[in-house]
Amino acid sequence: MKDITLKVALAQISPVWLNKEKSLRKVEAYIEEASYKNCELIVFGEGLVPGYPFWLALTGGAEWNTKVNKELHAHYLNNAVSIENGDLDHICDLAKSQNIAVYLGIIERPMDRGGHSIYASLVYIDQNGVIGSVHRKLQPTYDERLTWAQGDGHGLKVHALKKFTVGGLNCWENWMPLARTALYGQGEDLHIAVWPGSDHNTKDITRFIARESRSFVISVSSLMRKEEFPEDTPHLSRILENAPDVLANGGSCIAGPDGEWIKEPLLDEEGLIIETLDFNRVLEERQNFDPVGHYSRPDVIKIVLNKDRQSTIEFDS
C-alpha cells in the first residue's frame, strides 16, 4: 500500500554562509533534486538560511559593546528571512509544483516582534505549498543567546503527511522532555530533529527519542568548513584566525521506532540521504509502549501547552 510508506530526503548541505539569497537558491536546487528522485518530504538543518552564528565562539562574542559584534550582528539581520516580505514564496511555489513537503531551518526576522530581533525557526511547508507552522526555538543554547531571541509555543504543531503525523524541534530543544511530549501528545509519529551540524549531537539523542516515542526520528545536520566562509564576511580575518578546519561535520541519520539505526550518522559528505519509511513499523512498536497513550497516566502527570504567538503589542479593534 503506497499510503503507508513515505520517501524522505535528508539534505546534508552547507549554507552559502550569511548570504540569504544564495542559500535560498541552493535550497531550491536540492528540493528539485529530491522531487526528481520521487521524495515526498525533504528536511534541511537548523538555521541553514543563512547559516549558524559560528563567529560568536571565534571572535569574543560575549564582549560587551564591541564594533566587531555589532557589525556581524547587523550583517546577520540583513540576511535573515522575513516570511511576511515573501522571502519563502518561491520555495512554497516549488513545494506545490513538485508535490513535496519541506522542513527548513531559517534565521527568521519576524515583523510581529518589531522586525529587529531574530529567531532560529523551523518552517514546515506542505505539499500544497502552504506554510503549516513556523516554530521559533524556545530556548537558544549558550552563546546563541547573544544573537537569537527566545521563541514561543505557537509553532509546536504537528502535520498530517500521508499516514504519518510529523513534528519537529530545533537542536537542543530535542533534549527538552516537555517539548518532545507536547508533540507526542498531538499524535507525532515522525519526529524531525534539526541541528547546525555535528554527530556529537545526533549519535545518541536520535536513537533515544525514537525509542522513547516509538516513532521514526530524522536528524538533519548541516556542514561547514573553514574555507566556506565568504570573502565578503565582515571581520573575516578575525573569524579565520580561530576557526577550526571543520566547524560542522554533518551526522545526519534516521532511527526507527525500535530505536535502532536505519541510516547511521553520515559525516563530511554533502548531498541527499534518501530512505523510504513504513508506517506500520510505528504501530508495531506502540504495541508494548506508547508514551502518551496506554503507557501514560494523565490523571497523575500532564503538561500545559501555551500555543499563543507572543508579541509586545496587541491591537484593540
Predicted model pTM: 0.96
pLDDT of res. 1: 55
Residue with cell 511530549: 181
**HSE-CB of 290 using CA atoms within 13 angstroms:** 14
Cα radius of gyration rounded to whole Å, the chain: 19
Query: Could you list the active site residues?
Result: 46, 137, 171
Tens digits of per-residue pLDDT, 149-179? 999 999 999 999 999 999 999 999 999 999 9
Cα 123 versus chain centre, distance: 8
How do 41-44 and 5-12 pair as beta strands?
parallel
Cα 273 versus chain centre, distance: 16
Tens digits of per-residue pLDDT, 131-142? 999 999 999 999
For 182, the grid coordinates are 507536547
pLDDT of res. 317: 78
- Are the C-beta atoms of 118 and 50 separated by less than 8 Å? no
Domain 2-286 has CATH 3.60.110.10: yes
> Which residues of the chain, if any, have pLDDT below 50?
none
pLDDT of res. 2: 63
